[in-house]
């Protein structure tokens, strides 16, 4: 195995102090923080994954007695939808579920559509570029028609999501809004180009006329604000209201704090930022941060994470970091489909199964010799990070370089039948793996022990060498 990757991951996993794993099934801790049985004050910010109560970051919060606000107005639970990014405050109970005191939702923008990309991968509205991918959820109207039927300069959309390092919005939820003469246009972002004499400023590429804002000079360039207005003049939004906005978890200390989002800055050291929220972590071999689906060195701008820990003086001290794009592939490019922007990889497309990788020029981050999909050639060696959706792997990162025989496959297990483990449709024959190279969290185990432990859905990484038209698998590790 790759010693650096697996040693760091395993030691962090074995020695972590904190809450157990989050996922669709909720907390695994037997009670409160780390299974202590103590009800913990909590704050959780992320996209809603289930409505009934509200599920965020794997915790199902009961909302029976919660105050629910939408853009500052009290609303019923029915006003919320899956995909909306919310902030929940309350408590994590002893059984691992939550009780919400408040659920706050505020859209990142609501306004006229300027244009829509022909392939539906993005649109522009309110001076912001909105990126749409295969995990974006749509409200009732758009789920029927799709974004390509939106009419520029006529239709209004509401968008929720995460801001990326370039200032784009990675949409988690989009809906078309029925409009009236009093429909507000809203945008959240950072003030630039503030010009006091003309009382104008910009949010992204949107020019704003602040003549009607009595409190305009309470704000400065660099302030993160929400601006609203009901009309435009000569392409400028006529602002009627402006308030400071926040993208962090607040200043109140919390025993359980969770945040989902995109890394916007990752300077050298042990602190990085998820759009305004400082996060500290411990990447040492015997550190107190668990890394699921990646390594500390994988934390960089643009990576989507879910972080758990404690909130102290406004800083999220991470006990667990989950890489939401946890699939990793490494091999030479076998085939390339220019029409669908997809790749297959040598050794991962044989007769035992196959993986199709979808690449998007607007959503995938490129490095090495790759600058866009067109620049990737058959025969080049690629390292890919991504997520599985509808039977394909959507690439969030692609790094290309010279041809190489190394093959890496990391993903959730589809099925187990000793000596085979099927991952993402690829049947891995472990009979070629030396008994010393079976590992569970960096601990050597026998082949029998490995197959007794591995289950469908577990994250497993295998490494091998492509030779003679097939992969000779050489090492395998289960990440528990």
Asked if pLDDT for residue 33 goes beyond 80, the answer is: no
For the cut 90, the answer to whether the pLDDT of residue 186 exceeds it is yes
Kindly report, as residue ranges, where domains of CATH 2.40.50.320 are found in the chain: 109-177, 185-244
Q: Using pLDDT thresholds of 50, 70 and 90, give the confidence band for residue 241.
A: very high
Determine the pLDDT at residue 119: 86
Over its C-alpha atoms, the chain yields an Rg (Å, rounded) of 24
Pick among 2.40.50.320, 3.30.10.20, 3.30.565.10, 3.90.180.10: CATH of 109-177: 2.40.50.320
Quick one: average pLDDT of 223-246?
A: 93
pLDDT of res. 38? 61
Q: Is the pLDDT of residue 385 over 60?
A: yes
Q: What is the percent of the chain with per-residue pLDDT over 70, rounded to a whole number?
A: 90
Percentage, residues of the chain above pLDDT 90: 71
Of the ranges 34-38, 251-255, 298-302, which one carries the lowest mean pLDDT score? Answer: 34-38
For residues 87 and 441, the model is more confident at: 87
In the structure, what pLDDT confidence band is assigned to residue 48 with cuts at 50, 70 and 90?
A: very high
pLDDT-derived band at 350 (thresholds 50, 70, 90) equals: low
Average pLDDT of 100-112?
A: 96
More confident residue, 480 or 238: 238
Computed over every residue of the chain, the mean pLDDT equals 88
Whether residue 34 is predicted with pLDDT greater than 80 in this model: the reply is no
Mean pLDDT confidence for 24-44: 52
- Residue 180 is predicted with a pLDDT of 73
Q: Is the pLDDT higher at 180 or at 403? A: 403
Q: How confident is the model at residue 139 (pLDDT cuts 50, 70, 90)?
A: very high
Q: Give the model's pLDDT for residue 64.
A: 95
Residue 35 confidence (pLDDT)? 38
Model confidence pLDDT, tens digit, residues 272-306 = 999 889 999 998 867 899 888 888 888 989 899 99
In this predicted structure, what is the pLDDT of residue 284? 83
pLDDT at 16 over 60: no
Mean pLDDT, rounded, for 181-202: 92
Whether 414 has a pLDDT exceeding 70, the answer reads yes
Per-residue pLDDT for 31 more than 60?
no
The model's pTM? 0.80
Q: Which of these CATH numbers, 2.40.50.320, 1.10.3720.10, 3.40.718.10, 3.90.180.10, describes 185-244?
A: 2.40.50.320
């Amino acid at each position: 195995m790759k010693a650096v990757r697996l040693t760091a991951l395993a030691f962090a996993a074995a020695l972590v102090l904190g809450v157990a794993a989050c996922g669709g099934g909720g907390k695994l801790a037997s009670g409160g923080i780390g299974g202590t049985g103590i009800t913990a004050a909590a704050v959780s910010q992320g996209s809603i994954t289930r409505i009934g109560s509200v599920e965020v970051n794997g915790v199902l919060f009961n909302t029976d007695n919660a105050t629910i606000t939408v853009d500052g107005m009290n609303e019923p639970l029915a006003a919320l939808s899956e995909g909306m990014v919310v902030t929940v405050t309350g408590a994590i109970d002893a059984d691992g579920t939550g009780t919400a005191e408040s659920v706050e939702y505020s859209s990142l923008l609501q306004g006229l559509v300027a244009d829509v990309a022909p392939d539906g991968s993005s649109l522009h509205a309110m001076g912001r570029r909105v990126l749409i991918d295969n995990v974006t959820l749509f409200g009732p109207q758009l789920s029927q028609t799709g974004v390509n039927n939106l009419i520029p300069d006529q239709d209004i959309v509401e968008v929720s999501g995460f801001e990326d390092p370039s200032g784009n919005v990675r949409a988690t939820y989009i809906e078309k809004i029925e409009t009236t003469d009093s429909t507000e246009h809203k945008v959240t972002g950072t003030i630039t180009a503030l010009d006091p004499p003309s009382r104008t400023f910009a949010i992204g590429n949107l020019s704003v006329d602040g003549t009607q804002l009595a409190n305009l000079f309470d704000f400065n360039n660099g302030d993160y604000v929400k601006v609203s207005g009901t009309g435009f003049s000569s392409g400028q939004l006529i602002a009627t209201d402006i308030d400071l906005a926040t993208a962090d978890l607040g200043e109140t200390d919390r025993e359980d704090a969770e945040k989902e989002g995109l890394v916007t800055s990752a300077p050298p050291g042990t602190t990085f930022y998820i759009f305004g929220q400082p996060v500290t972590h411990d990447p040492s071999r015997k550190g107190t941060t668990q890394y699921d689906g990646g390594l500390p060195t994988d934390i960089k701008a643009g990576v989507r994470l879910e972080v758990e820990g404690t909130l102290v003086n406004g800083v999220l001290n991470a006990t667990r970091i989950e890489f939401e794009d946890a699939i990793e592939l490494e091999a030479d490019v076998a085939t390339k489909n220019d029409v669908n922007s997809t790749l297959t990889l040598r050794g991962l497309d044989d007769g035992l199964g196959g993986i199709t990788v979808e690449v998007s020029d607007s959503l995938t981050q490129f490095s090495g010799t790759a600058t866009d999909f067109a620049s990737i050639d058959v025969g080049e060696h690629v390292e890919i990070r991504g997520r599985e959706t509808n039977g394909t792997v959507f690439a969030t990162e692609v790094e290309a370089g010279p041809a190489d025989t190394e093959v890496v496959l990391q993903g959730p297990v589809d099925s187990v039948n000793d000596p085979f483990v099927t991952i993402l449709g690829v049947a891995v024959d472990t009979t070629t793996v030396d008994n010393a190279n079976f590992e569970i969290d960096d601990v050597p185990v026998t082949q029998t022990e490995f197959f007794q432990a591995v289950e469908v859905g577990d994250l497993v990484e295998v490494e091998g060498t492509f030779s003679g038209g097939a992969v000779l698998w050489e090492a395998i590790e289960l990440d528990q």
